[in-house]
Every structure is written in C-alpha cells, then in structure tokens.
Structure 1
C-alpha cells in the first residue's frame, strides 16, 4: 500500500463544512463546488510527481559546479508542468493570466504539495510570490517582461532580503543601489540564505531584492525594492547581470532546495529595476513576506501531517507488547492499542490539524479583503495582521514537537533513514527560522499587532471567538470546553492589559522580554478556537453519519477533547508567568553565563 502523506477528508471537512458558512458570504455556490476538482488535481499531482521524489531529493542535494547550482534533474520539468497546469499563476486574477483561486483554497493546495515533498513545493511557491508582487507593484513594462516566464515555470522567483551582518534587522541592510537613470540602478552588495537563488532547472532567476538607494535615510525608511535578474534584458536578448553565487549552504534538512549566498556588482555591472516607490520597498515587500509566513505555517502543518500519517500507519501494523494484565503467552497487540502511543498520536493530530485550520482561517480573511469593502474589509485586514505571526509560529514551534512524537512512535526505527519521519524532523526545523524567527514574530505580535488602534485587533478576535463559544455552549458535550476557552480568552485579555501598562512603567525592553511566551499563550487560545469550531460541525454531523464517516467525526470530537485536556491548560501557566512582571532575562548579566 502506498504511503499516505495527507488525509484529504480532513481538508474537505475544513473547507466544505467548518468554513462553509463564512465562505458563502464571499464565494458563489458554483465556485465552491469546483473546489473539489482543484483539490483532487492537486492531490493527483502531489502523489504522482512530488511524493516519489521525497527521499531522492533529500539525498541528491544541490551542489555548486562552475558557478552554477545543480539541482535534482526533475526540478525543471516539475516547474514547467506546474506552470502549464496553472499552479504558479493560480492566485493571480484572470486578467493577469491567472486562475483567480481564493487564498483559502491555495493554502489547502500548499498543504497537499508540502506534505508530499516540502523541498519540491518551495520552488513554485517562491515564483508565485514574486509574480504576485510584480503584478501588484510593477509598472506595465516589468509585468509584460517578467510575468509570462515566471508563470510558465521557465524562470524562478526569489525573495532576496537577508544580509550576513543584518540578519532579521532589515533596517541595517547595506546593499547599495546607485541611480543609473530611468528607474535603473547599479546594485552592489551581498545577500545570504536566499532560497532557490540559482539553479539549472530554469533559464533565469528573478530576485525581488531589498537595497538602499545612495543617499536614502537610515533604517527601514530608506529601503527600496528592486527586480534584479540573473540575466538582464538587453538588445532583444539576455545578458549576464553580474551576480555570483559565492556558496550554497549545506543544511540539516530541506535539502532538496538550494539556499545560497549571492554577490552582486563585483564588476560594477549588476542592474536592478525599481519596483514601487523609492524608500517604500519594505512595505511593498511585506506582501510577499506575509504571504510567505502563512506558507511557512502551512508547510510546517503539512510536514507534521505527513509525519503523523507515517506514524499512524506504523503503529497500526507494528505488534509489540500486550495489554496491561494480559497473559504473557497471549498474542502481542498493535502498538496503537497502548495508551501512551495513543497519547502521542493525539498530540500530533491536535497540533497538525489545529495549525492547518488556523492558516485556512487566515486565508479566509485574505479572501475577504478582495470581496468586502469599508469597515468590514478593514476589520478582516486587522484580524489577518494579528493572526499571521501566530499561525506561522504555532505551526513551526509545535510542529517540531509533533514530528518528534512521530519519531517516538517508531522507536529506534524512527531515528533511522529507513522511515520518512527522520527526514520530516529535519525538514521541519527550518520553519521556526524561515521568514522571521519565532522571537521576531513574538515581538511583532505583542509590540505591534495587539497594540494597533488601541487594541482593536484583539477585541475583534475576541468577538470572533465568542461567536463560536455561543454556538458550542448549546451542545451539552461541548459546553465545558467552551467555558474553559472563555476563561483562557479572558486571561489573555487581562494579561495583554497588564503588559500594556507595564510597557509604560518599565519600557519597551522589559515589556517585550517574554514576548515569545505571550505568542505561545496566544497560539493556544486561537488553536483551541479552531478545534472548537471543528468539534461543533463534527458533533452536528456525527448523528447521521455511518461507518467510516461516523468514525471520522467522532475522532474529530475526541481530538478536540484531548486538546482542551492536555494543551489548553498550559495557557494558565504562561499567563501567570507573564503577569508576574519580572524581566528575569534582563536582570541576568552577560558575565553570568559561563
């Protein structure tokens, strides 16, 4: 039997049941009926084209050869097929050559592709993000020249932000852009950790690059955004654009896609083309960055899902030990029958499926921005901003724990290359670093997002959660969990208020010292909300379902019960620590470490 990397019934349950009512306000019934066709096509492609290369791409890693990065030979054909089938253009409007698919459905497809082969899925995702950014902010000449080959999968798109000395502190980047006339600039500098920064699977690589125009203000206010291709247009053709790959990084996981260091302008002949307004590059880049953060969150949830599916299959087939009290001569049982193994499997489902639902919730808010207007659209924008760092970080951090539990289910075999969870664990670890570390996301959430407009985003989220609580309270089986989530939400609101006052008393450094704990507490509440939403629909439909469908719904309800019994209680301890108002990490001096 072929290994199952994702449970499609779970995705359909979320899209067609849990989020159906909210979706009806945004999409026509005709559109929603076509979603199954898209999901089926995504699954078929993932199963036949991506998943067979899962282990092979991990072992046949990219390498630098005569200045060119060589990748697995399947990458080029895969990208061109994804271009031909419309996956790279799927999120663009039809007038720009796309399919106009909703964000929520695109995130579901991301889950399918990433669970099948995370490394392979990243190439097309980067090109999609670059194309959407050019489509939004580029002039007509840039759109006409760059969009067709990007969308066809012939050219690769990238995000080129990070520099060795600046890291996540983008205000300190030093890459230079010297005006050369008519929106053209000479680019000089270095970039590091650029995914898919160069490879022989495509004809050209198009970097969306942040740089500072000569004479621009210091800090983030002086950053501009440029299209910087590996080969630039000239005299009706393409010529080398003075970009050198100085090294590729040899990684713990996510090995199928190269991450490189780039040097631009060593011959003073690297040209970049301004996109958007001068000194407003970071705000434009945030479109691609925020999209990438949700993709990282869904990628983490997808890897955790694939690892869970592997662990589930193994624990059902592996026989070892006997039930407590059984005769020593009785037949061994499948290890899934042991309570502690069930606990580990429940941990994995609680995290993976809860995180996946939260990213889809963010996708629904993205879609609302294109459909709603006025105050309704503004509220959805605030909710999306608020939840993006939470969705990214919960999936990434808790996903590490989830895949670790998958390995534990396999015992010693899980630590070996013979089974896929060893690779899943290595592939997972980058997600807490990609697109802003967990600490960066935490400071963004507490220092900016919850404090915007006098706390309006958190009030809007609390209203959304309490709408779900009111529905859950009508079900006798769910009412106790609704009460627990209401208490956790109240505690989060109280903690936020106390921290806000402390910011005035003790300053920003003390206020943000434990921001990562706040982010974790926030994630527990929001994923609890997603599980309660799932349980409401599972309970509603379980009474009329039969056979496997009934087991599916009962399973959903039981995972929700597990989440509220084993995961949500951690929230109280985190908030207690936060409300203590003691910046212990600030009082410990550097010299105290030895």
Structure 2
C-alpha cells in the first residue's frame, strides 16, 4: 500500500519538538502518558489504513448526491460514524463524565491529521458532530445535553453548524433566518442555510443542526443573533423520532471533497420546524466564535494533512520514475547512460523540498497551536493562561491560512513533479489538488483571516500578543546561536523580525490616523509576510532540536532523519524566507491602487 503519512515525523514533532509531556503533566490529562497516546495513534493509523485510505479515490469517483429529498453518501460514511463513536474519535477531548477520553488537543490533532491524510472526505462528518456537541455541552442546559450529546458522541446522530445563508455569505450580520418563540418553550424556525458540510446522509438516525437565527424583535446586526438546536428529527411525546420540517433542498456538486456532502437546507417550509435556544438570547455569534479557534485549527490541520499525503505521493513517484539523464561535468548528457530517476534532477528535488517544507512546517504550526490551546485551558497560573491564550489568538489566522494557501502551491508543485501524468486521473495528485482548494475558503476566507490578523489580533491588548510571539522567536534565535552551523540562520530570522517591526509600524500609522480602509487594504500580503516569518521560526526550532539530538547522541531516529530536517530548514531559508523582502516592499509602498469606486479601471 502506498504511504500517505510519515508517522515518525508526526511523533517527532508531537513529542520532541513541541513537548507533549508539558501538556500531559496537567491535572486534566494525568491519566495519559506517551505509551497510551501512542497506542491511540497507532490504532487510528491501523483504522485509517483499513477503512479510510483504500476508499479515497472511490469516494471521488462516486460522490455524494441528492435524490428524493435526501443526500446519498458512500457506505464508508456509516463506518466512519459508527467507528468514530466506538473508538472515542468523536468524544476524544470531552470530559469523562460526558463519556469522553479527556485527551489533549495535541493528541486529538495528531489523530485527526492521520485520518485526514488518509481520506479527507470522511473525518469531517465526525469532526462537525464533535464541534456541534461541544457547543451544546458548553452553553445548553442539562435537558438539552441529556437528549443530544450521548447520541452524538456515540455516532448514532450526526451534527452540523449552520451559519451561511444565500443572501449573506460570510457577512453574518445579515443573517435573516427567523425564530418565533412559542409558549411551550421552543421556537418556530424558518429560513435557509447553504454550504452545510455533512448536512444530511443516510448513515445516522438524526442530524442535529446548530443554527444561527434571529428572534423576532432582536437588534439588527450581529448583536441580535441567537443559537438554536434544530434537529432533522425531533422527539415526540413518546420519545420517538419524528420529522421536524427540515428539508434537504440540494447537495452542491463540487470540484473536490466530492465524498463529503455539502448541503442546502430549508427550515420551516411547512411552518412546523422546532428549535431550542442554546444559552441566552442574542449571544449566538459569541457562542459560535468561542469554538472558532478549534474549528480554524481543524482547517489548518486538514490542509496540512492533504499537503502531506500529496508530498508522499509525489516522493514515491519521483523515486520510481526514470526519465532523462544527469548532466556530466562537460555540461552534456551522455545518451549512452541509463536513464536516471527523476528524483536526481535538481529542479525536481527543489519542488519536493518545497512540498516537504510546507507539509512539515504546517503540521508543526498546527501542533503548536494545539499546545497553546491545551495550556490556556489547563494551566493554574492566571498569567500563564493569559500568555498562551494571547499567543493562540495571534497565530490562529496563520494556522488556518498558511497550510491552506501554501498547501495549494505545494500540491501544484507535486503535479509538476509528475509532469503530464499529474494532470491525469490515473494518478492521485489531481484529486489532492482539487480537494485542498476549498481550505482557503473554509471557516472564513483568506481575506477575512488576514483582516482578523492585522486589524484585530496584532493590536489587541496594545500589541501584547505580538510582543509574546516575538519573545518566543527570540528564544529560538538565542538557542540556534549556540550551534555554529545554525548561527547564520538565527541571524537571518533576527533581521526579519526587525523588518517586520518596520512594516507593522508603517501600517499602524494608517490606523492611528483613522484611515482603516488603507490600513487593511493590503492585509492579505501582510498575512503572507508574517506567516512566512513565523514558519521560518518554526523550522529553525525544528533544526535546533535536530542538531541537539545529533550532537548529544540522543537520537530516537536515524541520523539521516535529523539531517533531513536541518536540510529542509536551510531550503526554506534560501527559497521562501527571502520572499518577505518583496512583500515588505509591497506593504510599505505609498501608492494606493485598490481603494477606489471607479469601476472603469476594469473596463477592457
């Protein structure tokens, strides 16, 4: 079987680079150790080998479809839901009292990374069920918890989050789905939601929708949005499931992730759709966004997983495909020579190294965010909790965006490694390329994430989060400076931090003058700029650990394993980090070209 993930690299980043031991020392995770988590990850890998990866291509060729008012999905969706419940994949991070495993987010992220690398069509079904159940646990009353959570964590019922509407898109302040209070204590729900992942399929008894809606008379804008549980089927007086006037209008046919259904739902077409308020009125968006960090880590993780699987496929092809001959010292090719494997061609190696740098750098960033998430939730010190909460808030937009945007570029390079075969359906690279293209759009587009990073996260608490992240980077610079062979790269990162300060100072000058449109107009180039610097820090940190393992002879893996990490860091610093100079020039250019209402510039 072709490999889709490097488990050694995953465990190396999880345990050695990011120190899972620091997390499992916290009281909440005291029942777990490296051995038990390894057993969990190994069981997930075995399950993915057997039930996910073999069906990846088939689910693309036979996609989900809408028929007679319901969505028909591949039979593996049923296995995913059932086994997701049995193995604790849905309940992994929940409390013991709720039937959960109380696993750290770091271990959960590692487990889902394996599944998503194996088959990115399937884990979303249980991931969304988990996210919906988490909202109910955190904000709904005990009665609603008792009705819905056990059935969702077992995989018997599915779950979704319903935000987007046809007329609103990402502008949630324009949500118009209506909720009318009824004396019996529930609400009549009416409206439509689109792009609902996992919104309907035949493999669960019920689908529990978490719906944003506006109670009659509520304030306009985001302040008037409430959150409701709106099941596809509700319980009647005898506790039996009955239809709840939730209609599956259609399933969107997509360029990628074709086995992961994306539905258009209608609520209350027959004026018989019941919803139950979660928490307080008009707090729905706040509740939803309290869970958004986890959702955005999930998007970055999924993109990193697809990028990883594509890299493994590209690498395997390059090791097997003979084509052309190496240049001799005279600069000519000797036709009498045997053909060489394409992995020996420098340009192919460049493309493979880019894939490796993006895949492993993205995974490392995701695991770091997961660690921050765990520490902010479990540390006792208020000051330390705030530190990791701020660090998480700052990097979340980059965690969602870098793996997504650079994953697309990475897999594009993978297609190029295969040449003409990369464009053909006989090879899997084209499917990875189609599948990952949704990730820059999921959970807030790149433009939205970029404005969040520059317009909110960078300046929150008077820049304290940025100050904390800079300190983390300086610690790595100091550590790298102790190794003679890494001093050069430590110096480079230090110079980029100075450049970042100049760019940020320049951009903040517009905000200080109240010119917010100009301040945010180049937020997306800024996202690329700061993300590239952040990933260079991530890679220098990996290189420090690898170099230390080599010098102290504390090697869990082969010498080649560690040398490959250092080599990839050097590649990133040569080929990717210098791009920040051009981005800085763009960001500090005084010419303004995108702020205008003059549409004639688009005329032919």
TM over 0.5: yes
Q: CA deviation at 1:29?
A: 9.6
Which of these residues, 340, 361, 370, is aligned with residue 363 of structure 1?
370
Q: CA deviation at 1:585?
A: 0.8
Q: Is the 8 A contact 2:51 2:76 kept in 1?
A: no
2:284 matches 1:285:
no
Structure 1 residues 464 and 242: CA distance shift in structure 2, 3 A: same
Q: Which residue of 2 aligns with 1:446?
A: 454
The whole-number CA distance in structure 2 between the counterparts of 1:515 and 1:319 is: 44
Q: Which residue of 2 aligns with 1:223?
A: 225
The whole-number CA distance in structure 2 between the counterparts of 1:519 and 1:364 is: 22
Q: CA deviation at 1:500?
A: 1.3
Q: Which residue of 2 aligns with 1:189?
A: 191
The whole-number CA distance in structure 2 between the counterparts of 1:77 and 1:456 is: 46
The whole-number CA distance in structure 1 between the counterparts of 2:23 and 2:249 is: 47
2:547 matches 1:530:
no
Q: Which residue of 1 aligns with 2:209?
A: 207
Deviations for 1:29-66, whole angstroms, at most 9, x for unmatched residues? Answer: 95233221121111111111111110111111111111
Q: Is the 8 A contact 1:195 1:259 kept in 2?
A: yes
Structure 1 residues 547 and 211: CA distance shift in structure 2, 3 A: closer
Q: CA deviation at 1:506?
A: 5.5
The whole-number CA distance in structure 2 between the counterparts of 1:333 and 1:423 is: 28
2:49 matches 1:54:
no
The whole-number CA distance in structure 2 between the counterparts of 1:304 and 1:588 is: 39
Which of these residues, 350, 353, 356, is aligned with residue 357 of structure 2?
350
Residues 130-279 of structure 1 mapped to structure 2, 5 A cutoff: 130-181=132-183, 183-235=185-237, 236-279=239-282
Larger mean Cα displacement after TM superposition, 53-62 or 535-544:
535-544
The whole-number CA distance in structure 1 between the counterparts of 2:14 and 2:193 is: 39
Q: Which residue of 1 aligns with 2:392?
A: 384
Q: Is the 8 A contact 1:130 1:288 kept in 2?
A: no
Q: Is the 8 A contact 2:106 2:374 kept in 1?
A: yes
Q: CA deviation at 1:504?
A: 2.6
Larger mean Cα displacement after TM superposition, 395-404 or 71-80:
71-80
Q: Which residue of 1 aligns with 2:422?
A: 414
2:323 matches 1:324:
no
The whole-number CA distance in structure 2 between the counterparts of 1:467 and 1:426 is: 39
Q: CA deviation at 1:24?
A: 6.5
2:438 matches 1:430:
yes
Q: Is the 8 A contact 2:98 2:150 kept in 1?
A: no
Q: Which residue of 2 aligns with 1:301?
A: 304
Which of these residues, 589, 596, 600, is aligned with residue 591 of structure 1?
600
Which of these residues, 555, 562, 576, is aligned with residue 567 of structure 1?
576
Q: Is the 8 A contact 1:502 1:581 kept in 2?
A: no
The whole-number CA distance in structure 2 between the counterparts of 1:143 and 1:119 is: 28
Q: Is the 8 A contact 2:549 2:555 kept in 1?
A: no
Structure 1 residues 231 and 566: CA distance shift in structure 2, 3 A: same
RMSD: 1.5
Q: Is the 8 A contact 2:24 2:33 kept in 1?
A: no
Q: Is the 8 A contact 2:24 2:32 kept in 1?
A: no
Q: Which residue of 2 aligns with 1:83?
A: 85
Q: CA deviation at 1:305?
A: 0.3
The whole-number CA distance in structure 1 between the counterparts of 2:591 and 2:173 is: 30
Structure 1 residues 367 and 299: CA distance shift in structure 2, 3 A: same
The whole-number CA distance in structure 1 between the counterparts of 2:488 and 2:142 is: 57
Larger mean Cα displacement after TM superposition, 383-392 or 285-294:
285-294
Larger mean Cα displacement after TM superposition, 133-142 or 491-500:
491-500
Q: CA deviation at 1:82?
A: 1.3
Q: Which residue of 2 aligns with 1:38?
A: 40
Q: Which residue of 2 aligns with 1:496?
A: 504
* SS at structure 2 position matched to 1:432: coil
* SS at structure 2 position matched to 1:209: strand
The whole-number CA distance in structure 2 between the counterparts of 1:285 and 1:43 is: 31
The whole-number CA distance in structure 1 between the counterparts of 2:458 and 2:571 is: 29
Structure 1 residues 370 and 491: CA distance shift in structure 2, 3 A: same
The whole-number CA distance in structure 2 between the counterparts of 1:57 and 1:99 is: 30
Deviations for 1:235-271, whole angstroms, at most 9, x for unmatched residues? Answer: 1111111111111111000100110111111111111
Deviations for 1:482-510, whole angstroms, at most 9, x for unmatched residues? Answer: 11111112221222222111123261111
Structure 1: 5+ residue stretches without partners: none
The whole-number CA distance in structure 1 between the counterparts of 2:513 and 2:485 is: 44
Q: Is the 8 A contact 1:155 1:205 kept in 2?
A: yes
Q: Which residue of 2 aligns with 1:96?
A: 98
* SS at structure 2 position matched to 1:181: coil
Q: Which residue of 2 aligns with 1:557?
A: 566
The whole-number CA distance in structure 2 between the counterparts of 1:112 and 1:271 is: 38
The whole-number CA distance in structure 2 between the counterparts of 1:153 and 1:30 is: 24
The whole-number CA distance in structure 1 between the counterparts of 2:535 and 2:203 is: 39
Structure 1 residues 322 and 131: CA distance shift in structure 2, 3 A: same
Superposition TM-score, scaled by structure 1 size: 0.97
Structure 1 residues 201 and 29: CA distance shift in structure 2, 3 A: closer
The whole-number CA distance in structure 1 between the counterparts of 2:179 and 2:273 is: 10
Q: CA deviation at 1:182?
A: 5.6
Q: Is the 8 A contact 2:109 2:367 kept in 1?
A: yes
Superposition TM-score, scaled by structure 2 size: 0.96
The whole-number CA distance in structure 2 between the counterparts of 1:547 and 1:316 is: 25
Q: How many pairs does the alignment contain?
A: 593
Structure 2: 5+ residue stretches without partners: none
* SS at structure 1 position matched to 2:168: coil
The whole-number CA distance in structure 1 between the counterparts of 2:433 and 2:601 is: 33
The whole-number CA distance in structure 2 between the counterparts of 1:528 and 1:150 is: 40
Q: CA deviation at 1:549?
A: 1.1
Q: Is the 8 A contact 2:23 2:375 kept in 1?
A: no
Deviations for 1:108-138, whole angstroms, at most 9, x for unmatched residues? Answer: 1111000000011111111111111111111
Which of these residues, 378, 395, 405, is aligned with residue 397 of structure 1?
405
* SS at structure 2 position matched to 1:74: helix
Deviations for 1:348-376, whole angstroms, at most 9, x for unmatched residues? Answer: 01111101110110000110022213111
